[in-house]
Amino acid sequence: MRCRTVYLHAHHIYAKKKLREIPLIARRLSLRGFLLSGKPGYIGIQGEAANVARFLTALRRMSWQSLEMRFESEEAVCTCVGGVSGAGCYDSFDIIGSPPGQKSNLRDLSKALRPSETADKRKILETIVKYEVKDTNAL
């Protein structure tokens, strides 16, 4: 079973319907990760590769101003499924973020990231937000 981790960038995530449905879809597919609401919005998802693909299909059916995959990795062995938590695994699928109308907080996104031990958190963060992270205190 292959494991896949994907981080997505959205122009914004405020809609109550999305904030309700996205976690339900993730949990129904036994996926873990986070949704960071606000502007911009971010979604991190991990789990069995086939289920991540189903999740992405469901997301694409929703109406988005902009939704872009910014980071993707795949591993041969999935240590983050079936109640097992390895390095870089999320415990569940959580909603974090800013109130409507406010910008997303880089610190919230940094805290939400759970890269594997071999991944560089700073590089992943820079890839997702598309600018260089100079303030190491933000990590």
Q: What is the pLDDT of residue 43?
A: 92
Cα separation, 132 vs 116, in Å, equals 21
Q: What is the pLDDT of residue 52?
A: 96
Q: What is the pLDDT of residue 50?
A: 95
Q: What is the pLDDT of residue 56?
A: 97
Cα separation, 21 vs 27, in Å, equals 10
Average pLDDT by stretches of 10, the chain with 139 residues:
88 91 96 88 91 96 93 77 60 76 65 58 67 52
Range list of β-strands (E), the chain: 3-10, 32-37, 41-48, 67-75, 93-97
pTM of the entire predicted model: 0.79
Q: What is the pLDDT of residue 139?
A: 46
Q: Which of the following CATH numbers is that of domain 3-138: 3.40.50.1820, 2.60.120.620, 3.40.190.10, 3.30.70.100? A: 3.30.70.100
Is there a contact between 93 and 31 (Cβ–Cβ < 8 Å)?
Answer: yes
Q: What is the pLDDT of residue 73?
A: 84
40 preceded by cis ω (within 30°)? yes
Q: What is the pLDDT of residue 96?
A: 82
Could you tell me the two tokens for 114? 């759970």
Cα separation, 137 vs 14, in Å, equals 27
